[in-house]
Structure 1
Amino acid sequence: MLFHLVKKDFIIAKKYVWIMLVFAVVGPIIIYSKLDGIGNSFVSFLITVLFVEYILFNMISFQEDKYKGSALLCTTPHTRNGVIKAKYLFILVIFIGSFLLYNLAVAIDSSGLERLNTISIGTVLLIISVFYGILIPIQIKLGYEKTKYISFIIIFLTPFILPAVVEWYQSIQFNFNINTPLPEQIKVWVPLVLSFFIGFVSMMLSIRIYSKKNL
């Protein structure tokens, strides 16, 4: 059931999927070359993922709001729980796809773009989880029209807050390495674990809100 719902999302956004696939490869290379002094592979991947997630998720939300897709889905065998779970699974699938294409970008680029380590990948996913972990429940509660500018403003401001992002990222690394008593092999997985925990809590909250929503 979840597979069909995620497939439905890709069909809705099909006009943009191929463009985003190309951008997921070209984007990190271009961004990396433009971020002199403050740029690195981590930030390049972060901005690329944020942009790809935003375009595809926003397009789907727009189409579903325009054509009352949520109400129509509830007339099918798909449950409300399944509809919500598919939203979070879609975000995760896009992240995985972006990561795989980022590695393709690394393979074809010669400007210095580097492969990401586990903690960097986890940190990017953590940022995505926090962003959509807040956005999705709010969007379900208030509707697309009242929340459509939230993600746009954040995505637009991202290039201007890069120094703060990098500083925060570096401070996270410092804290994991110094202030935690966990073994090194476990520390690197902390951001990933936090990402899935935040995503799970957000999903449960969204399910609860959606189950009471009058469509």
Structure 2
Amino acid sequence: MLYHLIKKDFILVKKYLPMMIGIPALIPLYVGTRPIGGAALIGFTLSSVYTLFMTVQYIFLKESQSPKALSLLCAAPYPRWLLVAAKYCLVPILHLACCLVFLAESLMVPGLAALPMQAYASVLFADSLFFSIYMPLQYKLGFERVKLLLLLPIIAMSWLFPLLVKVSTQIRWNPLAGIPAWASSIALTAVSFAVLAVSALVSIRIFGRKDLA
């Protein structure tokens, strides 16, 4: 049943499929080839964040336009917790898609530097952290209120993230230094899924008490 709910979410946004493909393809090409420090990481991070949150926003937009459909799904053999879990499954799916697109581009496009294994895991952790804050707010406050709250951090991130990367390159302290890349990547991935799991439990509890009538 989880597969069908994930498929349903992608069907809802099929109209925006060209944009969903274009964002992870074009942002790394534009940002990653700029003559700035950490350009490839900046490009990949922005593409991953924008792809995830714009996709989820469009799904919630479609659901808000058809509230009766959500009620019917909950009345069908789909428990509410499964509807929430399907949304959280989008994080690893879309992140993996962005990783594959970036890897393909880094092999084919001169000037687009490849990223180490830790970078992909770090971006997954960042995606999971932001998503884990966003989802409970979405279920608690609703689409119309949260979309404005979400827009400001994403715009701010476009301006602040390059500065943060520049500052981080000047700081010699690295908590992952001395840890093998594969071990730190597995640890970051595990923490990311743990954060998502905790957030999912909170969202399920909020959504379970929501009146869909």
TM-score when normalising by structure 2: 0.89
User: Which residue of structure 2 lines up, in the alignment, with residue 82 of structure 1?
Assistant: 82
Q: What's the offset of the Cα at 1:38?
A: 3.5
Structure 2: tracts of 5 or more residues without a match: none
User: Which residue of structure 2 lines up, in the alignment, with residue 95 of structure 1?
Assistant: 95
Matches within 5 A, 1:61-80: 61-68=60-67, 69-80=69-80
Q: What's the offset of the Cα at 1:184?
A: 6.0
Q: Deviations over 1:134-171 (max 9, x none)?
A: 00011101111111112211111122102343157656
Q: Deviations over 1:8-36 (max 9, x none)?
A: 111110011232213322321111134x3
* 1:138 maps to amino acid: L
Bigger drift between 133-142 and 10-19 goes to 10-19
2:35 matched to 1:56? no
2:15 matched to 1:25? no
Cα RMSD over matched residues? 2.1
Q: 1:126 to 1:173 in 2, by over 3 A?
A: farther
Q: Partner of 1:157: helix, strand, or coil?
A: helix
Matches within 5 A, 1:192-211: 192-211=189-208
Q: What's the offset of the Cα at 1:187?
A: 2.8
* Counterpart contact for 1:137–1:205, Cα < 8 Å: yes
Q: 1:187 to 1:169 in 2, by over 3 A?
A: farther
Bigger drift between 61-70 and 139-148 goes to 61-70
Q: Distance in 2 between matches of 1:117 and 1:37?
A: 18
* 1:19 maps to amino acid: M
* Counterpart contact for 1:26–1:105, Cα < 8 Å: no
* 2:65 maps to amino acid: K
Q: 1:82 to 1:172 in 2, by over 3 A?
A: farther
Q: Deviations over 1:46-89 (max 9, x none)?
A: 00111111221111111101111432321221110110000000
Q: Partner of 2:174: helix, strand, or coil?
A: helix
Bigger drift between 155-164 and 144-153 goes to 155-164
TM-score when normalising by structure 1: 0.89
Q: Partner of 1:188: helix, strand, or coil?
A: helix
Structure 1: tracts of 5 or more residues without a match: none
Q: What's the offset of the Cα at 1:45?
A: 0.4
* 1:208 maps to amino acid: R
Q: What's the offset of the Cα at 1:212?
A: 1.4
Q: What's the offset of the Cα at 1:42?
A: 1.3
* 1:64 maps to amino acid: E
* Counterpart contact for 1:177–1:187, Cα < 8 Å: no
Q: Partner of 1:174: helix, strand, or coil?
A: coil
Q: Distance in 1 between matches of 2:115 and 2:173?
A: 14
Q: Distance in 1 between matches of 2:17 and 2:173?
A: 33
